[in-house]
């Protein structure tokens, strides 16, 4: 399950550098699949979605920090717990019921983004 940032976010920025998948962006910033991953060129995600890794994508929020669900692995592959939730001072990084995934799906997502 991906993590989502709720509107309780106070824009402190503490979570952004902690994300091993560069899935967290400041409000109003563009995002890319290629940012902080080994992805480039035309890609097909494990969930079947086709995309261009280097193309700038529209921000998911204009006001608060946001998490790209396609890039969040709940930190699987890197850490034992979601790092954003661990550092957030107002506990507004929570599981997103709209983006539920099994551990296997999270593992394959992590392997897809990183070639190591």
Alpha carbon separation from 85 to 2, 23, 53, 54, 106 (Å, rounded): 12, 13, 26, 27, 17
Q: Residue 77 Cβ, how far from ligand SF4 at the closest point, in Å? A: 9
1 part of the interface to ligand SF4, by CB under 6 A: no
Whichever of 83 and 108 has its CB closer to ligand SF4, that residue is 83
Judged by CB under 6 A, which stretch of 35-43, 55-63, 89-97, 101-109 contacts ligand SF4? 89-97
Tokens of 95: 């599981």
| Cβ contacts of 104 within 8 Å, gap of 6 or more | none
Residue pointed to by tokens 């001072």: 89
User: Between residue 11 and residue 30, which ones bind ligand SF4 under the rule CB under 6 A?
Assistant: 11-15, 18-21, 23-24
Q: Are 64 and 7 in contact (CB under 8 A)?
A: yes
Contact footprint for ligand SF4 (CB under 6 A): 3, 5, 9-15, 18-21, 23-24, 65, 67, 72-75, 82-84, 87-88, 90, 92-93
């Amino acid at each position: 399950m991906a993590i989502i940032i709720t509107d309780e976010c106070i824009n402190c920025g503490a979570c952004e550098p902690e994300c091993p998948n560069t899935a967290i962006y400041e409000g109003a910033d563009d995002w890319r699949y290629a940012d902080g991953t080994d992805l480039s060129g035309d890609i097909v995600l494990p969930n079947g979605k086709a995309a261009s890794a280097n193309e700038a994508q529209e921000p998911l929020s204009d006001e608060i920090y946001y998490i790209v669900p396609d890039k969040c692995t709940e930190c699987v592959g890197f850490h034992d717990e979601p790092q954003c939730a661990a550092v957030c001072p107002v506990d507004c990084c929570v599981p997103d019921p709209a983006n539920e995934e099994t551990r296997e799906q999270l593992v394959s997502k992590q392997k897809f983004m990183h070639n190591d």
